[in-house]
Copies of this chain bind each other. A is one copy, B any other.
C-alpha cells in the first residue's frame, strides 16, 4: 500500500502545480487540488499539515527540477558559450502564459507571506548565478572569450533574462518576441565575443 500512497501524494503535488498555473496562487483552494487529484480534501490534509505546507512542497519540487536541468546543461560536452546560452535563452518563456514562468511570477508575489519559500527561491537564485559565473570563468580560462568580472556579468545576464521573461509572460509578446535575440546580443557584448551578431 505504501506504493499507492506515495503515488497519490505525488498526484496531489502535481495537481497543485496544475491548479496554480491555471488559476493562480491566490485563487487556489485545497478543494480545487483535491478535486484535480481525485481525492478527498481530508487526504490532502492527511499528507500536508497545512495549505502553506502544500504550496511549499510543490514549489520545492519545481525548484528541484529547475536545479537539475541546470546541472545537466552544465555537465554537457559543449563550449561554455553554448552552455550559457542554453541556460539563459533556453529558460525564456515559450510564449505568453508560459506555465513555468507564471509559477515563478506568482511565487514572487507570495514570497513575503511564505518565509520558507523565500529561502527556497534565494537558494535557486544563488545556484543559477553560481552556475553561470562558473561557466564564464571556465570559458575565460580556455580562451573562448574575455570577461573582467564574471559574477557581475552573470548578475546582469540573469537580471536581463528575468526582466525579458516577465514582459514576455505577462504582456503581449509582440514587443518582446525577439527576447532571445536581445539576450544573445547582450551575451556577445558582456562576454566580449567577436560581434557576429546582426544587431
Which A residues are within 8 Å of any B CB, using their own CB?
A: 23-27, 97, 102, 105-106, 108-113, 118, 121-122, 125-126, 129, 148-149, 152, 155-156, 158-164, 166-167, 170-172, 175-176, 178, 182, 185-186, 189-190, 199
Looking at the assembled complex, report how far the CB atom of A165 sits from the nearest CB atom of chain B, in whole angstroms.
8
Looking at the assembled complex, report how far the CB atom of A194 sits from the nearest CB atom of chain B, in whole angstroms.
16
Which of B27, B129, B178, B186 interacts with A175 by CB under 8 Å?
A: B129
Cβ contact within 8 Å between A24 and B167? no
Q: In whole angstroms, what is the CA distance A27 to B109 when docked? A: 11
Q: In whole angstroms, what is the CA distance A112 to B26 when docked? A: 11
Cβ contact within 8 Å between A162 and B170? no
Q: In whole angstroms, what is the CA distance A156 to B109 when docked? A: 23
Looking at the assembled complex, report how far the CB atom of A160 sits from the nearest CB atom of chain B, in whole angstroms.
5
Which of B155, B164, B185, B189 interacts with A176 by CB under 8 Å?
A: B155
Q: Which residues of B contact A182 (CB under 8 A)?
A: 152, 155-156, 159
